[in-house]
Structure 1
Amino acid sequence: MDIVTRPRILVVGAGFAGVECVRRLERRLSPDEAAVTLVTPFAYQLYLPLLPQVASGVLTPQSIAVSLRRSRRYRTRIIPGGAIGVDLKAKVCVIRTITDEIVNEPYDYIVLAPGSVTRTFDIPGLVDNAFGMKTLAEAAYVRDHVISQLDLADASHDPAERASRLQFVVVGGGYAGTETAACLQRLTCNAVKRYPRLDPRLIRWHLIDIAPKLMPELGEKLGRSAQEVLRRRGVEVSLGVSVEKAGPQEVTFTDGRVVPTRTLIWTAGVVASPLIATLGAETVRGRLAVTAEMCLPGHDGVFALGDAAAVPDEAKGEKGAVCPPTAQHAMRQGRKVADNVIATLRDQPMQPYVHKDLGLVVDLGGRDAVSKPLGVELRGLPAQAVARGYHWSALRTNVAKTRVMTNWLLNAVAGDDFVRTGFQARRPAKLKDFEYTNAYLSPEQVRAQVEGAGPA
């Protein structure tokens, strides 16, 4: 087959779903069958579940950023940039490259795996004063910020300022928020021992969530166990509570409490990438409505998966059930969607996605963890072994596995370090500065961009 006439497969997003899809396509398609292109702002796959350990310094940032360019075996063309719109009729994806150039990328088949962004609400001051925990840069920045609060509190002569700098608020009682609060609280309690002028009792961590239970997916007993671990460490857990107003030096809760703090970390869930809104297609709670084969109804050659798609959960057998936005589903969906793209290319029948959840793991730092593998409830060291074993095995390359294991062993032997890298020397960067949610085009703008460019 002439190389010019090869079908063009465009994969949007280099998260768990997108990378697994690309790797499967590379392994199972011959070079003559199709040309594969991947659109991603960064040429690495981020292992998101371990971000709290980067924020606490247990792991280095590079250890969970798995490079997409290391192997010479891979033939996928990588476009450094972000997809900001898709014209389904013209079969064109509009991309803003890292040089800020807007280009049109035509395709024959498109796999939409743009992931998700932090879910925020119309809370006064939130995006201007809160930190997120969704990207590698945010995790590294939060670590720097938390350690700098200890330095600034130590240098302050004002008792009120010192107390406010040593109070920390985390919003979100899911996995990300719970692990973030647990890991960072452990970091500050170990670090404060190196500050003789600071009273350790001034360090206070607050974990709040509007839900009535902490991590309800774990079940009543394990959720309560996790809550007891946090409270034993001194973390104040408040349920049924959210943020009413966020200021630069204080946070007001919906129950009326006002907490003086310079650190508000927002992890209250995620929503599908704004790219989905540019399609003008049907959605389910913001996620693209797709079939069990992960196809977009009414559009040939369009597939969607991961956090951005409401993939029916066939394993549950419940009407209307969709797969949760977790790594284990995204990875398996990536492989299945690659198989379905190949089946379409070869005029073979597609298969539905079916996967039964293998369980949940929550690493609370140190020797504390709660896990529920295959429905078996574990606590403490056994749970910790399962949690870290699962994360370690899920890392895609041996290089990443070696780095993570080395970091874990070094931390276990040498303990934490409290070095900050100097991000705080630059202007403060908050939630609004890390996720470029205003970069996307409207459906009308996408159409104008595609039509204005003329034929591809």
Structure 2
Amino acid sequence: MSRPRIVIVGAGFAGYQAARTLSRLARGAAEIVLINPTDYFLYVPLLPEVASGVLEPRRVTVSLPDTLPGVRIVLGEIDRIDLADRRVGYVDGDGSPADMRYDRLIVSIGSVNKLLPIPGVDEHAHGFRTLPEALYLRDHLTRQIELADLAEDPAERAARCTFVVVGAGYTGTEVAAHCVSATKLLLRRHPRLAGQQVRWLLLDLADRVLPELDERMSATAQRVLDSRGVQTMFGTSVAEATSDGVRLSTGEFVASRSLIWCVGVRPDPVVDDLGLATTKGRMVVDEFLAVPQHPEVFACGDAAAVPDPGRPGEITPMTAQHAVRQGRLAAHNVAASYGHGSFRPYRHKDLGFAVDLGGAQAAANPLHVPLAGPVAKAVTRGYHLASIPGNRVRVAADWMLESLLSRQGVQLGLVPPAAVPLDTASPELVQPLGR
């Protein structure tokens, strides 16, 4: 008899952990297939350091073939799931349609940028969830400073040195904190720009940065942003985006060539096409992560509405901490469905949060102990080194070199704007230490 086939769709935090756990539990007993658009797992929490030039891009990518023994890697973009026939459809690396049968399915397709019906945003804003987006932003920052150096018009110079970030959650706060320092370093390399100010705006409809976190962490982040000259504007968003700048909801027009969209995420639209019950766009599952009426299908991570045992009646937040644990549990319960072990319900304990603010600054509350400054930075970096499933020595080496050498400020020119539209789907989520 042929071995059963377990198919995992998506290699974000949940999918990667599911594949890694199954490679240990079911290698040889089942064919394990992981379908993903890339051959790497992206450690998204370190993307701000890629955009600001601290880390080289490959440091945040972990090879799937190298770290998932016994797992067959299929490069493809999922576009349909046929629950009745137990088949997954995808577009392969050559752009050709293909499909695959499954006996067990783990849906871990993650989330995509949250879009809002604001004129011009789709055309002029860029998100920050993928490696190409981080590389594009890194080039874009360098390019704007270099073009400002060439500009004779003071108004154009000011516009090219103005950067608008929408969303003061984890991603937006980290991007602003890291990249404001990077642009100041770039500015100092252009004598013609002596005296020119770099302006960073961080907008959010909330009343503080990091509104999801404890107010003490929010206050720490605000102090760092203030010290670096980042202008935070609360109760404010973008009303319209153009090629020349953005009009704010207050009516003010800000001349800028840079609009960075960090307003949050939504479940992958593939979930909508399944015809299954959803909650807030996420697939309804039971406490064992199984889909009702389809016991052969499990879902985890951002795609799944997992009941939160700590908050009766609520579902778990779309965070990496939950995704990692749910991926492991989905793998255990898939193995249990074949008689290897017993089913386990989802349980979790909050480990705390960490926000890297660049330089020697961070805010963290491991096990709910509030920390700030260099101590929080050490905790944050230690957490990342423990969590990233590869490249630890290379990441640590880049951090050490950053403290000894000046950053390289060059454009690689690898990612054109058309390659990173705002609606690009992505299976990863920026969420360190429980985001």
Instruction: Give TM class, smaller chain.
Output: over 0.9
Q: Equivalent of 2:17, from 16, 20, 24?
A: 20
* Alpha carbons of structure 1 residues 348 and 279: separation in structure 2 relative to 1, 3 Å: same
Structure 2 spans left out of the alignment, 5+ residues: 428-435
* Alpha carbons of structure 1 residues 200 and 385: separation in structure 2 relative to 1, 3 Å: farther
Q: Equivalent of 1:422, from 404, 413, 430?
A: 413
Instruction: State percent identity of aligned pairs.
Output: 43
Q: Which residue of 2 aligns with 1:378?
A: 371
- Answering whether residue 253 of structure 2 is matched by residue 258 of structure 1, we say yes
Contact 2:113 2:422 (C-alpha < 8 Å) held by counterparts? no
Contact 2:113 2:423 (C-alpha < 8 Å) held by counterparts? no
Contact 1:129 1:430 (C-alpha < 8 Å) held by counterparts? no
Q: Which residue of 1 aligns with 2:402?
A: 411
* 1:330 CA drift (Å): 1.1
- Answering whether residue 29 of structure 2 is matched by residue 39 of structure 1, we say no
Contact 1:81 1:96 (C-alpha < 8 Å) held by counterparts? yes
Q: Equivalent of 1:69, from 48, 65, 72?
A: 65
- Answering whether residue 189 of structure 2 is matched by residue 191 of structure 1, we say no
* 1:430 CA drift (Å): 4.6
Q: Distance in 1 between matches of 2:195 and 2:318?
A: 38
* 1:347 CA drift (Å): 7.0
Q: How many residues align?
A: 427
Q: Distance in 2 between matches of 1:355 and 1:199?
A: 52
Structure 1 vs Structure 2 CA RMSD: 1.6
Q: Which residue of 1 aligns with 2:105?
A: 110
2:312 maps to amino acid: K
- Answering whether residue 156 of structure 2 is matched by residue 161 of structure 1, we say yes
Q: Which residue of 2 aligns with 1:170?
A: 165
Q: Deviations over 1:396-445 (max 9, x none)?
A: 12xx1011101111111113221111247x565553474489xxxxxxxx
- Answering whether residue 276 of structure 2 is matched by residue 271 of structure 1, we say no
Contact 1:156 1:162 (C-alpha < 8 Å) held by counterparts? yes
Q: Distance in 2 between matches of 1:200 and 1:185?
A: 16
Q: Equivalent of 2:323, from 330, 333, 342?
A: 330
Q: Distance in 2 between matches of 1:264 and 1:57?
A: 19
Greater Cα offset, 300-309 or 214-223 = 214-223
* 1:218 CA drift (Å): 2.3
Q: Deviations over 1:115-171 (max 9, x none)?
A: 111101111111110111010011001100011000000001111111100000011
2:154 maps to amino acid: P
* Alpha carbons of structure 1 residues 20 and 404: separation in structure 2 relative to 1, 3 Å: same
Q: Distance in 1 between matches of 2:73 and 2:248?
A: 44
Please identify runs of 4+ aligned residues in structure 1 that moved more than 6 A.
none
- Answering whether residue 201 of structure 2 is matched by residue 202 of structure 1, we say no
Contact 1:189 1:200 (C-alpha < 8 Å) held by counterparts? no
Q: Which residue of 2 aligns with 1:452?
A: none
Q: Distance in 2 between matches of 1:264 and 1:63?
A: 26
Contact 2:111 2:425 (C-alpha < 8 Å) held by counterparts? no
- Answering whether residue 38 of structure 2 is matched by residue 48 of structure 1, we say no
**Matched residue of 2:144: which SS?**
helix
TM-score by length of 2: 0.95
Q: Distance in 2 between matches of 1:129 and 1:28?
A: 47
TM-score by length of 1: 0.91
Q: Deviations over 1:229-283 (max 9, x none)?
A: 1011100001111111111111011111110000000010001111111211111
2:235 maps to amino acid: G
Greater Cα offset, 51-60 or 209-218 = 209-218
Q: Which residue of 2 aligns with 1:345?
A: 338
**Matched residue of 2:6: which SS?**
strand
* Alpha carbons of structure 1 residues 219 and 432: separation in structure 2 relative to 1, 3 Å: closer
Q: Deviations over 1:323-351 (max 9, x none)?
A: 22222221111111100000001175411
Q: Distance in 1 between matches of 2:56 and 2:137?
A: 13
* Alpha carbons of structure 1 residues 367 and 163: separation in structure 2 relative to 1, 3 Å: same
Q: Distance in 1 between matches of 2:346 and 2:295?
A: 18
Q: Distance in 1 between matches of 2:380 and 2:32?
A: 34
Q: Which residue of 2 aligns with 1:218?
A: 213
Q: Distance in 1 between matches of 2:397 and 2:234?
A: 37
* 1:201 CA drift (Å): 4.4
